[in-house]
A = this chain, B = another copy of it.
Amino acid sequence: MTGGRGSGLARLSLNQKTTNRWSVAEAVQGCVRAGLPAIGLWREPVHEIGVLAAVQLVTDAGLRVSSLCRGGFLTDPTATGRQAALDDNRRAIDEAAALGTDCLVMVVGGLPTGSRDLPGARHSVVDGIAALVPYARERRVRLALEPMHPIFCADRGVLSTLSQALDIAECFAADEVGVVVDTFHVWWDPEVMTQIARATGRIASFQVCDWITPLPPDALLSRGIMGDGHIDFRGLRRAVEAANYLGDVEVEIFNADVWDADPDEVVATVTQRYLDVVLDG
């Protein structure tokens, strides 16, 4: 690896969902082989080996953990469901702290089954975040609200815009509640540049993947490798940097074809694309 390429990768993080078939151990080794300094972890594969084993793997490899995915799912209207969600989020906060990341990505949840009360679901999110902040604050973990593309509003995340996420985040200190800027989710928003500027000091994570057409049949697996779609990555990266975000850039791609490919080749491709279309040429 050349020095130039090495320094170009100083902020590149592999979200392990991009190499979905890899275990935590395999993803950590893959990052090391590719010269990546950071990894974004998911709770389910971490649970498969245990949190302490995951901590040992990333520590031994000298990797940063750029984020832990994911907390959230705060829209259950029942007392039991709400309590279960809060309990699980507190466990997620503990896991983030143990893994040495201050960024817990929050996918807030969709409409409750059978409900058409979108404002009500959104209020539940605000209540849930407020209930979690004291616990997260004590453990120095920031709740990172992820606005999701409106395609996911019904069934995954009722936070649909950066503006809406910031309206909630700004009820709390900047180091308590931040926002995730994921290019796939926000690129279409006519206010995206204004809201990224507004998010100065609140950006907890910057994730990149592309919007491709025709949209793949499964909406949950519809994300593309940077450069294969319609998003202007440089413009968005410069905007988050101007908003004082100089942290890791996570590549997070949900895509059946990407998941079927050889994971080392996927890492090589996304690394090259990061250099080619995300960083300045």
Q: How far is the CA of A112 from the CA of B179 in the complex (A)?
A: 31
- A231 in contact with B160 given A215-B151, A219-B215 (CB within 8 Å): no
* Minimum C-beta distance from A198 to chain B (A): 15
Q: How far is the CA of A84 from the CA of B126 in the complex (A)?
A: 49
Residues of A173-202 contacting chain B, CB below 8 A: 187-190
**Stretch of A9-17, A115-123, A247-255, A256-264 with 4 or more beta carbons under 8 angstroms from chain B:** A115-123
| B160–A189 CB distance below 8 A | yes
Could you show 15 A-B contacts with beta carbons less than 8 Å apart? Answer: A116-B231, A149-B150, A149-B151, A150-B150, A150-B189, A151-B151, A151-B215, A153-B188, A154-B213, A160-B188, A160-B189, A160-B190, A161-B190, A214-B219, A219-B219
Partner pick for A190 among B122, B151, B215, CB 8 A cutoff: B122
Q: Does A155 contact B (CB under 8 A)?
A: yes
- Interface residues in A, total, Cβ within 8 A: 31
Tell me the number of copies of this protein: 2
Residues of A within 8 A of B (CB): 111, 115-118, 122, 149-151, 153-155, 160-161, 163-164, 187-190, 211, 213-215, 217-219, 229-232
| B151–A232 CB distance below 8 A | no
* Minimum C-beta distance from A158 to chain B (A): 8
Q: How far is the CA of A232 from the CA of B155 in the complex (A)?
A: 15
- A232 in contact with B116 given A153-B188, A154-B213, A211-B154 (CB within 8 Å): yes
Chain B residue at smallest Cβ distance from A148: B188
Residues of B within 8 A of A153 (CB): 187-188, 211
Interface-central residue, A115, A150, A219, by most chain B CB under 10 Å: A150
Which applies to chain A's interface (DSSP): helix, strand, loop or mixed? Answer: loop
| A190–B213 CB distance below 8 A | no
* Minimum C-beta distance from A150 to chain B (A): 4
* Minimum C-beta distance from A209 to chain B (A): 14
Residues of B within 8 A of A189 (CB): 150, 160
| A190–B164 CB distance below 8 A | yes
Chain B residue at smallest Cβ distance from A167: B190
Residues of B within 8 A of A117 (CB): 232
Partner pick for A111 among B115, B164, B214, B230, CB 8 A cutoff: B230
Residues of B within 8 A of A160 (CB): 188-190
| B118–A232 CB distance below 8 A | yes
Residues of B within 8 A of A164 (CB): 190
Q: Given known contacts A111-B230, A150-B150, A217-B218, what 5 new A-B pairs fall within 8 Å (CB)?
A: A117-B232, A154-B230, A155-B213, A155-B214, A160-B188
